[in-house]
Chains A and B, each alone.
Chain A
Amino acid sequence: MVLSIFKVLWNNLKQGPSTDPFPFGETFTPARLRGKVTIDPDSCVGCGVCATVCAGNAIKHVEREDGSGKDFYVWHNTCTFCGMCQHYCPTKAIRLTNDWSTAHCNEDKYKMKEQEFVAYARCTECNQAMPNMPHAMLDHIYGTPTKELETIYGLCPECRRQKSAQQFGAHIHD
């Protein structure tokens, strides 16, 4: 017990000063640190789960008037870095990076945001706008993609229902 203090002292002597060199040098950032949010618009389906679970109300989805898609905003100045959006995102489109450097001048207060455009996909049958489903998500839902499934992937929910019914031999009347 008495000797353990010498061990601590010896280790301290070996390691040198324990003061973090930042801001005069590089600092250590853990790989899993929860920092600024990033969005991958290609894998986002626009379901809005992230906005629902967001504690600080930092996430906003705004639908465009022309129906081409959604604008996805994350305002860093009210994000608590809780990571709930990342946890609940079904397609891993929203992610917390380990970038903690957030200090900025007050003029840039409303510029501290992530903004991405999440485009809607078009139905190959009726050309109606529908949420863009990434392939990884569809494969997860429907299993191994076959040729029939590949045609269904590009259809809106209504056309998909009709197509599946036809595959089972049902006759659909317009």
Chain B
Amino acid sequence: MSIIDSIKSKAVRSPWLYRINAGSCNGCDVELATTALIPRYDVERLGCKYCGSPKHADIVLITGPVTAMVKDKVLRVYEEIPEPKVTVAVGICPISGGVFRGSYSVPIMLDDIIPVDVNVPGCPPRPQAILEGVAMALDIWKTRI
């Protein structure tokens, strides 16, 4: 094993999660808080940890239908996250617009402006489904680092 490979195998253990609310109704955010905060679902078993700054993040979880008002702000925060990053769309809103699809204030889907890797549909998704999505994002992140 070369030095780079050994560094890679050690480095992939602790991705930091960052959460962007792109106009969400707070339902998915509550579920994300549930997966992270209460010991019943405990996302930190996967080696993940929520962080407060986009500059520290590795996996970004985006909720909400990307409203016209928040679009530029989402892009600005997304740009600050260092490469390699993995994007997870949580809930049906960022994936398809959900129940807000066709509204004048929801002109685009998330994957029109940002490369999305994993989708976790649901309104809101179960904490287990979010854990599943984060686990998928971890696998993708391991291939990128």
Interface residues of A (CB under 8 A from B): 18-20, 22-24, 27, 33, 55-57, 75-82, 100-106, 109, 112
Contact = CB atoms under 8 A, between A and B. Distances in A.
Contact of B101 (A18, A19, A57): A57
Contacts of B24: none
Contacts of B123: 56, 79-82
A78 B102 CA distance: 12
23 contacts: A19-B39, A19-B42, A19-B45, A20-B42, A22-B41, A22-B128, A23-B132, A56-B98, A77-B95, A78-B97, A80-B92, A80-B98, A80-B123, A102-B122, A103-B118, A103-B125, A103-B129, A103-B132, A104-B136, A105-B117, A105-B136, A106-B115, A112-B121
> Closest 9 CB pairs between A and B?
A80-B123, A103-B133, A78-B96, A103-B132, A106-B116, A103-B120, A77-B95, A100-B126, A102-B121
Nearest to B87: A106
Contacts of B101: 56-57, 78
Given A20-B40, A103-B136, A106-B89, 13 more contacts: A22-B132, A23-B46, A27-B128, A56-B99, A56-B101, A78-B99, A78-B121, A79-B121, A100-B122, A103-B119, A105-B119, A109-B111, A112-B121
Contact of A19 (B40, B89, B98, B117): B40
A102 B127 CA distance: 11
Nearest to A110: B96
Contacts of B12: none
Contacts of B42: 19-20
Contacts of B98: 56, 78, 80
Contacts of B102: 57
Contacts of A102: 120-122, 125, 129
Contact of B96 (A77, A81, A82, A103): A77
